[in-house]
Structure 1
Amino acid sequence: MASPDPRQTRSDDTETTRILDRGRKAYARRAWADAHGYFRHAVEHAPLDAEDLERLAASAYLIGRDDEYLGALNRAHKAHAEAGDAARAIRCAFWLGLELAFRGEMGPAGGWFGRAQRLLKHQKSACVEEGYLLLPLVEQHLHAGDAEKALATAAHAVEIGERFGDADLGACARHLQGKALIRQQRIEEGLALLDEAMAAVTTGELSPIMTGLVYCSVIEACRQVYALDRAGAWTSALTSWCAEQPQLVAFTRACLVHRAQIMRHGGAWDDAIAETGRVCMTICEGTELQPPGEAFYERAEIHRLRGEFPAAEEDYREANRHGFEPQPGLSLLRLVQGRTADAVAAMRRVLDAVGEPLRRSRLLPAWVEIALEAGEMAEAHRAADELQEFANTIDAPVLKAIAAQAGAAVALADGDARSALGFARRALAVWLQVEEPYEAARARVLMGLACRSLDDNDGAFMELDTACSTFHRLGAAPDLARVEALLSKPAKAPAHGLSPRELQVVRLVAEGKTNKAIAEELRVSVRTVDRHLENVFTKLDLPSRAAATAYAYRHNLM
């Protein structure tokens, strides 16, 4: 057999060196697809060292090739271990475990975290990787609802990050501290730590993958506590960061979903549909990424609000197929389709499974609306009260507006138009401030109905007409049809002039029930029953309960 030509070997080595140099330069300028191509080409000619394997892994991740990311990172881990660099091997094992955990493969993820812990035990001196391995524990504590342990563990990780001057660890651990504080309903403290973490993100101090992860986690945390101004600001920053890297794929999907959410809240529904559409289709040929369920849910919400019910139905189902809970949107769709019993059953099921206040606060407004339509007044009262109690515990104006709007709907159903008007006005002030046109229009509808109940026909017309214009501009067909019907056919009060709740009280009085018994049945206070009964006496010009009973039977109110 002929011996290899040394000149050819040297030529091959030189070419490989050139390719690797181009790959490293492409990586440095964040041209991830180019870097990935160069490293892939180089590895076909010669084994890569551990650092270049890490670059190959990161560039694969950033262009959406998750399986390649895991494979290259696995090889980098082995290369570091064989070279005796246990710390770098631990770091690779951490990232492998984290990615597998994100994919829901908890067994393999635990295996890599366990391997990293075993390697850590053999370290003779302290290393920053100890802090990285605390991060999965923080997430476990948060998932288990133990915010106290999560906070303490995250604080320990922050201390390690600061001691070793590791920006990635410091920012990630600090933002997890913020999330733990939010779970304890220490909202302002938590948001302050999220802001501090984002200072490192927006000034380019973090690695690309950690940058994207912290961006997405912080935006979601802000949305959970209704800090929509922060969520909007960080979404804009994420958009700019993605735009600076035209070859980036990994975080562009999340960016588009966040942008769509901001657009929906701001009333730019056509733009939001376009953004979610880009996510719900294949983003880039050859990537291994699947569309996130949240994108389908966002698109379904806009279809529902527009009255495009078949399209909404399909997107809610797709959201569910991709692992995203389609409630409360699907139940609200059922409600407008006239399938109230289905909406009630689904919402009861979801609420029974959710105990965490922040998560319940996203379900309760829909439950108030559904319960009122179903005639479940006691349930509507309980849900509105729970919302209000939670809104009182945190400084979140948007949540307070949501609670006030629910309170307005319940008060209106109770026949308490003055209270309803006050609640709706408080909600409207916030919606106008945060520029949320759809919710502002819904608040105006409640105000219009309250004005009508108070015989303020001019006030009722102005509020309903303004709401009508907003719904028309947004393309909110179901809401528009309802308000147009209200404007064209003003509701005529029945001859007796009683509200639905007052009529209910009269019927129960006629059945011989005491005010206390009525309060227990309607799940309201005795004082509320007293007030309703006083209104009944005034409206019907009756002197007593006996007279009210006689009136009820004489006018067939039973």
Structure 2
Amino acid sequence: MLEREQGDVAERGYVLIADMLNHLMNGELEAQSAVAAEIVEVGERFGDDDLVALGMMELGHSLVRLGRAPDGLRLIDETMVAVTSGELSPIVAGIVYCNTISFCREVYQLRRVREWTAALTRWCARQPNMVAHKGVCLVHRAEVMTLGGAWDDALVELGKLSEELTRGALNQLARGDTAYREGEVRRLRGDFALAEESYRRASSLGREPQPGHALLRLAQGRREAAAAMIRRVVAETSRGLPRAALLPAHVEIVLAAGDLDAAAGACRELGEIAARQDSDAITAMSWQARGALALAQDDPEAALTASRRAWHAWQQIEAPYDAARSRVLIARACALLGDADSCALELQAALETFTALGARPDVESIAPDKGSRHGLSDREIEVLRLVATGRSNRQIAATLFLSEHTVARHLQNIFTKLGVSSRTAASAFAHDHHLA
């Protein structure tokens, strides 16, 4: 049809969208960027605001993927100005809203996700007969609520995704995301059976239930299963930005398994991604992973610096749960440095946040029990009893069939939970409280 036209027309720009998406699917980012720029030029020449917005959106996405985050994000922001000001047709506005929010989730531009999800919610409310984006909108809102600590509200929002709202390809995809997000909230609250069910449902709907499912196995004490899961999905995922969602969990799980080399490699990779991306969230994840690794390497000074930077970053993003987890790392570093008072203050602050959120596993991991265990796990009790007999980390490792790194990690956790800073003090506590 275009060949029959005497001159150039705006429709050529729309046909180019197919070429642009083909380049994206094949991973040809430079080619995608070039075609997107051509689409913008055609749209501007013919005064087609919809075409300009579609091309500019994808050009921004490709630039971010190419490591030119500031340039790409500037174009994305310009596109969203056109959407929120009502310059675009409803169909294109919906496409730009959903694609841009989904993309910003992928690259951890969480402030933009929060702002534009609120705008999408208002836009959906003005489209009473629109069903194509409502399911996606609900998932986005639930994610924002989860990040902000409103876990009960997030579950309510996810529950609204009824069969009525699953018409259309976008909403069908949203069903898998909904199940996964439900699993995440359930896991964080300690409802492990319900979390398991949600992750299985997500998988049946075609949504990879990782890294949440692996973290569930870790919370259940099944470290080998957790490690197998996370290693498998990391190996299957291409290097670079797509792995940012997996690497923090990878670090946490392999540290628990005593594999410091794997954790160090994941930390380096996460740091490289953070350096390329203009993302506060990825930066926070990188610092938090470094803090945990430094603790496992018996470097409390480095752990304290990294964990404080993570905490400040999470505070800026308004992510209370992640900020509280950073404070636990800060507490552990303070304990190893002999600063028991600061350790206690950090743990109390974290405990208050975990309690308010309903994060039962985290509460139980740092709060003394009403009985005689003082918050220690079965394995930590075993380690403490052997410490109290005067055995070294090497001897304890041999007795319990663990690595020395794992024993050191258990010992750090014991110091944090008991509010002590030395083996001698831990041994005295064990004897005084009939734990040895």
Same fold (TM over 0.5): yes
Task: For 2:164, give the aligned amino acid.
Answer: I
User: CA RMSD, aligned part only?
Assistant: 2.6
Partners in 1 of 2:27 and 2:202 — Cα distance?
25
Partner of 2:76: 194
The one of 283, 291, 295 equivalent to 2:164 is 283
Q: Secondary structure at the match of 2:318?
A: coil
Partner of 1:447: 330
Match runs of 1:158-173 below 5 Å: 158-173=40-55
Partner of 1:207: 89
Cα 1:497–1:200 change in 2 (3 A) is farther
Structure 2 contact 132–167 (Cα < 8 Å) conserved: no
Partners in 2 of 1:187 and 1:498 — Cα distance?
52
Q: Report how far residue 315 of structure 1 moved.
A: 1.2
User: Is 1:270 equivalent to 2:156 in the alignment?
Assistant: no
Partners in 1 of 2:138 and 2:391 — Cα distance?
50
Match runs of 1:120-159 below 5 Å: 120-159=2-41
| Cα deviation digits, residues 84-107 of structure 1 (max 9, x gap) | xxxxxxxxxxxxxxxxxxxxxxxx
Runs of 4+ displaced beyond 3 Å: 284-291, 485-500
Partners in 1 of 2:392 and 2:6 — Cα distance?
78
Q: Report how far residue 337 of structure 1 moved.
A: 1.4
Partner of 1:180: 62
TM-score, with length taken from structure 2: 0.83
Range moving further from structure 2, 218-227 or 375-384: 218-227
Match runs of 1:203-282 below 5 Å: 203-279=85-161, 281-282=162-163
Partners in 2 of 1:132 and 1:299 — Cα distance?
38
| Cα deviation digits, residues 432-485 of structure 1 (max 9, x gap) | 122110001100111111111112111111111111111111011111110114
Partner of 1:323: 206
| Cα deviation digits, residues 296-341 of structure 1 (max 9, x gap) | 1111100010111111111111212222111101111111112222
Structure 1 contact 414–499 (Cα < 8 Å) conserved: no
| Cα deviation digits, residues 513-546 of structure 1 (max 9, x gap) | xxxxxxxxx9xxxxxxxxxxxxxxxx99xxxxxx
Q: Secondary structure at the match of 2:113?
A: helix
Q: Report how far residue 498 of structure 1 moved.
A: 11
Q: Secondary structure at the match of 1:392?
A: helix
| Cα deviation digits, residues 375-394 of structure 1 (max 9, x gap) | 11111111111111221223
| Cα deviation digits, residues 255-282 of structure 1 (max 9, x gap) | 1111111100000001111111111x22
The one of 240, 264, 278 equivalent to 1:381 is 264
Task: For 1:207, give the aligned amino acid.
Answer: S
| Gap runs ≥5 in structure 1 | 1-118, 508-521, 523-538, 541-558
Partner of 1:484: 367
Partner of 1:466: 349
Partners in 1 of 2:275 and 2:89 — Cα distance?
39
Structure index of larger Rg? 1
Task: For 1:252, give the aligned amino acid.
Answer: K
Structure 2 contact 367–374 (Cα < 8 Å) conserved: yes
Match runs of 1:372-411 below 5 Å: 372-411=255-294
Partners in 2 of 1:436 and 1:185 — Cα distance?
25
| Cα deviation digits, residues 36-76 of structure 1 (max 9, x gap) | xxxxxxxxxxxxxxxxxxxxxxxxxxxxxxxxxxxxxxxxx
Q: Report how far residue 287 of structure 1 moved.
A: 7.8
Q: Secondary structure at the match of 1:149?
A: helix
Q: Report how far residue 147 of structure 1 moved.
A: 1.2
Partner of 1:419: 302
Cα 1:495–1:176 change in 2 (3 A) is same
Structure 1 contact 187–225 (Cα < 8 Å) conserved: no
Structure 2 contact 134–165 (Cα < 8 Å) conserved: no
Partners in 2 of 1:499 and 1:254 — Cα distance?
55
Partners in 2 of 1:249 and 1:489 — Cα distance?
49
Task: For 1:316, give the aligned amino acid.
Answer: Y
Structure 1 contact 428–443 (Cα < 8 Å) conserved: yes
Partners in 1 of 2:282 and 2:7 — Cα distance?
49
Partners in 2 of 1:130 and 1:330 — Cα distance?
45
Partners in 2 of 1:275 and 1:138 — Cα distance?
35
Cα 1:136–1:433 change in 2 (3 A) is same
| Cα deviation digits, residues 358-379 of structure 1 (max 9, x gap) | 1111100000011011111111
Cα 1:143–1:444 change in 2 (3 A) is same
Cα 1:436–1:285 change in 2 (3 A) is closer
Partner of 1:7: none
Partner of 1:6: none
Partners in 2 of 1:120 and 1:134 — Cα distance?
12
Cα 1:238–1:497 change in 2 (3 A) is farther
Structure 2 contact 280–317 (Cα < 8 Å) conserved: no
Partner of 1:87: none
Task: For 2:311, give the aligned amino acid.
Answer: L
Structure 1 contact 180–190 (Cα < 8 Å) conserved: yes
Partners in 2 of 1:259 and 1:152 — Cα distance?
33
TM-score, with length taken from structure 1: 0.66
Task: For 2:318, give the aligned amino acid.
Answer: E
Cα 1:467–1:186 change in 2 (3 A) is same
Q: Secondary structure at the match of 2:163?
A: coil
Identity of paired residues, percent? 45
Partners in 1 of 2:52 and 2:278 — Cα distance?
27
Partners in 2 of 1:128 and 1:197 — Cα distance?
19
Partners in 2 of 1:121 and 1:313 — Cα distance?
56
Q: Report how far residue 133 of structure 1 moved.
A: 1.3
Partners in 2 of 1:174 and 1:381 — Cα distance?
38
| Cα deviation digits, residues 201-227 of structure 1 (max 9, x gap) | 111121111111100111122222222
Structure 1 contact 415–499 (Cα < 8 Å) conserved: no
Cα 1:231–1:284 change in 2 (3 A) is closer
Partner of 2:434: none
The one of 252, 255, 267 equivalent to 1:369 is 252
| Cα deviation digits, residues 377-432 of structure 1 (max 9, x gap) | 11111111111122122332221111010011111111111111111000001111
Task: For 1:488, give the aligned amino acid.
Answer: H
Q: Report how far residue 286 of structure 1 moved.
A: 8.2
